[in-house]
Structure formats: structure tokens, C-alpha cells
Amino acid sequence: MAKLQVAIDLLTTKDALALAAKIAPYIDIIELGTPLIKNEGIAVVTAMKQAHPDKLVFADLKTMDAGELEADIAFKAGADLVTVLGAAGNATIAGAIKAGKTHGKGVVVDTIGVADRVKRAQEVIGLGAEFVELHAGLDEQWTDGYSIQVLIDEAARAGVPVSIAGGVNITNIDAVIKAGVKVAVAGAAIYGAQDPATAAKALREAIDAA
């Protein structure tokens, strides 16, 4: 069964905790977005893990250098999963994975900005990544002509464990799950909804029904 990950791109720990409290029953992984971590610091990871010890807490560091050092900081703070960029060199990714092994935690490789996401996904799974995020970032999503279908097609042919992030919502979740993803990531579709709990519940039910 695929997992549901909420990407919290709010800017304060208070707002992130309030959102997580509402949607926790429907979510497997709580992602603290890069803007949130930059705004609040790594302490937001500790606060979220303390509030939700039964959930996987995902620190979206998007590390580009100093892989072992940055991943170690997040794991020590309570993260279960951290991201390193697929655009980074293999030494950076391997360093983050080394920190993950030390802490018994996982590293997710984010393919934002990578030209051939499928090829890079296959390479980094070979390095020991937990899974690969096939990701179109917020700026790419707001570019004319963007369609999540490109990520869905890539997931179906990747042949390695992947998640999809980049505009997952209630209208495309069925196709996302049927592409064989390990994790579906939904940000704005949940935190931007008028009723985030109802939105998360609908996504959960769609995943369970797929």
C-alpha cells in the first residue's frame, strides 16, 4: 500500500503543528518543507517528532553539499527521512546515506532540476537511497504547460522505489498510485484546502481504494 506524505510548506512551527494535528489520522509521513526549515531552523523537526512520535518525520533539506554533515544534523534532531538533491555529486549523496546508516534512518533523493530523472533515480538507488522523489518544484509547476503526467509516466517506467511530488491532488491521485509509487506527496492540496482534514481524508481514501 502506498504511503501518503503531506508536504508542509507553511512558514511557522505553530502553523505546521496545528496542521499536523488536524490531518495526522490520514497521513503516514509528515514533511517539513524547505522554506519552513529555513524559516524556523532544525528545531521544527524536533517539535514535530515530539508531537507525532508514531509518524515518519521527513526533513526536506534539499542538501547539495556536505551530505553527511547536514543529514546528521537532521537525524539528530529527530528526522526519520531527509532529502539530498539528485543534482548533487555521488559523494554528497553517499555521505548522507552514510549518516542514515549510522542513525538507522533513510535518505530520499529529490530529482528537482535533474534533466533525466529516471536515469538518476536508478543510479542513486544503487547508492543506497531509500526512495527517489520524482519532483517538479513549485516554480516548475507554475510554468506554462506543466503537467504532472510527465512524473506519472516516469514513475511507471522507473523500476525503482519512487514518490511523486509536484501538484498531487484529488483529481490525479488515482493515476499517481496506479503508476506504482511508494509514496504520494501532497502539499498545497492539503495545507491550502479550506478544510485540510477533509482533503487529507479524501486522499487517504483514494489511495486505499486504488
Ligand X SMILES: O=C([C@H](O)CO)[C@H](O)[C@H](O)COP(=O)(O)O
Binding site residues, ligand X, CB under 6 A? 7, 9, 33-35, 60, 137-138, 141, 165-168, 185-189
H helix runs in the chain, sequence order: 13-23, 34-40, 43-51, 67-77, 90-103, 117-127, 138-141, 149-158, 173-178, 188-191, 196-209
Q: 175 vs 188, which CB is nearer to ligand X? A: 188
Instruction: Supply the minimum distance, in Å, between the C-beta of residue 31 and ligand X.
Output: 6
Q: 138 vs 160, which CB is nearer to ligand X? A: 138
Rounded distance between C-alpha atoms, residue 57 and residue 3, angstroms:
13
Residue linked to cell 506504482: 180
Residue linked to cell 542538501: 63
Q: 39 vs 50, which CB is nearer to ligand X? A: 39
Q: Which residue is nearest to ligand X (CB)?
A: 187
Q: Quick one: cell of 123?
A: 543510479
Instruction: Supply the minimum distance, in Å, between the C-beta of residue 112 and ligand X.
Output: 6
Q: What is the DSSP string of 184-205?
A: EEESHHHHTSSSHHHHHHHHHH
Q: Quick one: cell of 100?
A: 542514515
Instruction: Supply the minimum distance, in Å, between the C-beta of residue 102 and ligand X.
Output: 25
State CA 181 to chain mean position distance: 12
Q: 58 vs 75, which CB is nearer to ligand X? A: 58
Q: 36 vs 118, which CB is nearer to ligand X? A: 36
Instruction: Supply the minimum distance, in Å, between the C-beta of residue 120 and ligand X.
Output: 17
